[in-house]
Structure 1
Amino acid sequence: MLAVSEAVLRESCRDLGLEITTRKLDKLLIIKDFIRFYGRSMNLTGALREDSELDAHVIEALQVVALAERLKIRGRWLDVGSGGGFPALVLAAWLGDLNLVLVEPREKRASALELALAKIGRPDARVIRGRLEGSKWRPIDGAALEPGFDAASARAVFSPERWIAEVTPWMKPRGMICLHLNAGDSVPEGSELAGRVDGERWSAVGVWSVPRGTTG
């Protein structure tokens, strides 16, 4: 099964235009093993009946990596609702120079993320507990969130329209907001497309952030 998974991941990276290395592949496999082992006890993901289902989560996250690579995104990246590990852990595994901040309100999931990050050699990535609500930061245990992000993602947390509204105040002007859309779906009206990476079921789509009160 491991060899099959390696082949699937290599082929997916090739299809996405990503140059995979042995080091990056090893980190992806560490993430898979971690989620397979801890997923149920720490409530990281829903029931995964087949290894292919976990591969699908990793591949979807790799679409976000491919989007970041195409747009040459670097600097600070905010991932909200990180508890399941996707795309945050895959971003951490692939883009070593990103300054990652992972937001997760639940203590058990936050602890799991910290452990997973340590296992792939990214203890520098910051996991904080809190919520974005009404574009305001609602901290847990006093965690601070500083604005000025170059990119942001949130998988299965908000609708695309609400996600753009929630995160825009936390972005740099012309920062990239990543949307997870059904394959072929258009970006919300009024958004400026930055780029997209389409898969069979899902699309990783970037739009540029525009500060409120301005136009693109």
Structure 2
Amino acid sequence: MTKAELQAWADSEGLAVDEAAWERLERLIGLWQQYGRAMNLVGTTDAEALWEHVQEGLQCVACAERAGAVDEGCCWVDVGSGGGLPGLVVAAVRPWAVILIEPRERRAAFLDLGLAAMGGRDRWVIRGRWGVSTWNEEVVRRLEARRESSFLILSSRAVFSPGEWLERSEEAEFPRGVVLCHVDLGVERVAGREPSNVVRGSRWSVLGFLR
């Protein structure tokens, strides 16, 4: 996929991405190409493959917005962020608060670098794993002040199977929002549950489940 093809897809989905955001996404592509092999971030440094990864991140944004994430009161929590998918893509295109959870030191360091390059406010990296109270308590603390007004987006791209992720996400005590599941094309349900909406891309679908 090329940048032009991705722009055409975003337009067809009604997803607003301004020129400054596209510039930040190009900056992110550059970071993946610079550090990808040394840190084993995204599996490839081929530009067309990386734009496909960006598309998946944009699918997540579109799915979240269709579920109700429409203002700056939103907070995105990405568990097992790895190389920054979808968290860094979100930080590039939306002004929302972003919390990236990653246990591995080198990848957490890259995420810090990526967030700095994307700019914006209220962006953090927390080292930890799902089920360990340290990160959960820190996330809750950061959300506490906006608990009544926040719309939470909870994502985890590759740590759990979609069914396990949907089940585990119920353990978190957070305000209203949506849980996102990454699935193969053609999958329309997770654990027998029907999503509130589906956003299809060239290789994957993203399903949103309201909470």
Aligned letter for 2:209?
Answer: V
Q: Please report how far the alpha carbon of residue 75 of structure 1 lies from its aligned counterpart in structure 2 after TM superposition.
A: 1.9
What is the aligned-residue identity percentage?
38
Secondary structure class of the residue paired with 1:40 = helix
After superposition, the Cα gap between the structure-2 partners of 1:127 and 1:143, relative to the gap in structure 1 and judged at 3 Å, is: farther
Aligned partners of 1:19 and 1:175: how far apart in 2? 21
**TM-score normalised per structure 2:** 0.85
Q: Give the CA deviation at 1:99.
A: 1.7
Which among 139, 145, 148 is matched to residue 145 of structure 1? 139
Equivalent residue number for residue 116 of structure 2: 118
**1:101 maps to what in 2?**
99
Q: Does 1:13 align with 2:15?
A: no
List structure 1 segments (4+ residues) > 3 angstroms apart after TM superposition. 171-174
Q: CA deviation at 1:124?
A: 2.9
Structure 2 counterpart of 1:58, from 45, 54, 61: 54
Structure 1: gaps (5+ residues): 210-216
Residue type of the partner of 1:128? I
TM-score (norm 1): 0.83
Is the helix fraction higher in 1 or 2? 2
For the 8 Å contact 1:61–1:86, the answer to whether it is kept is yes
Aligned pair in 2 of structure 1 residues 35, 67: CA closer, same or farther (>3 Å)?
same
Q: Tell me what 2:181 maps to.
A: 179
More strand by share: 1
Compared CA separation, residues 64 and 163, structure 1 to 2 (3 A): same
Higher relative contact order (CA 8 A, sep 6+): 2
Number of positions where the alignment pairs a residue of Structure 1 with one of Structure 2:
200
Work out whether 1:46 is the aligned partner of 2:43.
Answer: yes
AA in 1 matched with 2:77: L
* Partner deviation per Cα, 1:43-100 (whole Å, 9 max, x = no partner): 212134x32111110111111111122223152221011012111011111111x221
What one-letter code is carried by the residue in structure 2 that aligns with 1:145?
V
1:152–1:91 Cα change, 3 Å: same
Determine which of 32, 41, 44 is the counterpart of 1:35.
32
159, 162, 178: which one pairs with 2:161? 159
Which residue identity lines up with residue 137 of structure 1 in the other structure? V
CA contact (8 A) 1:114 1:123 kept: no
Residue-by-residue CA offset, 1:164-205 (whole Å, 9 max, x unaligned): 122212253652100001112022235352211012321110
Q: Gapped runs of 5+ residues in structure 2?
A: none
